[in-house]
Structure formats: structure tokens, C-alpha cells
């Protein structure tokens, strides 16, 4: 049996990932302005993870017209 609190780091990483995904998707839907600050609910040691995942999801949720433009420039 697992010790109490043993899974907390994994759960925290998933919560940070979910927050980054949610922010990027709201930006994609134009329901939230594009932010570059880390929400205050995220611990300082997870700030880099949030920024990394936010960049990943912003690229994932990029509108198709923007993707086609960037590919044609290459």
C-alpha cells in the first residue's frame, strides 16, 4: 500500500498541466487575453513547468490559418 501523500507531486504536475491547457484553450477561443505570467495558485517550483506546458498548448491550439502561414514562410 502506498504511503499517504506519495502521489502528491504527480497530482500537482497534472493540475499545473491542466491549468496551462485551460489557459491556452481559453486564449484560442478568445475568451481570455494572452497572459505571460504564472497564476499565483501555482507554487514557485512549478512555474517553469507551467510556462513550458503553456507554450506547448498554445502551439497545439494555434488556428489552422496561422499554422498554414508559418509553414508557407519556411
DSSP, collapsed to helix, strand or coil, labels residue 35 as coil
Provide CB contacts within 8 A for 27, sequence distance 6+.
Answer: 33, 34, 58, 61
- The pLDDT of residue 64 is 67
* pLDDT of res. 63: 73
pLDDT for residue 36: 87
- pLDDT tens digit sequence for 2-50: 666 676 778 889 999 999 999 999 999 999 999 889 999 999 999 999 9
Amino acid at each position: 500500500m502506498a504511503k499517504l501523500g506519495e502521489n502528491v507531486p504527480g497530482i500537482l504536475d497534472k493540475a499545473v498541466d491542466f491549468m496551462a491547457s485551460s489557459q491556452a484553450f481559453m486564449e484560442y477561443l478568445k475568451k481570455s487575453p494572452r497572459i505571460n505570467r504564472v497564476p499565483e495558485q501555482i507554487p514557485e517550483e512549478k512555474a517553469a513547468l507551467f510556462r513550458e506546458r503553456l507554450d506547448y498548448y498554445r502551439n497545439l491550439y494555434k488556428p489552422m490559418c496561422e499554422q498554414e502561414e508559418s509553414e508557407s514562410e519556411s
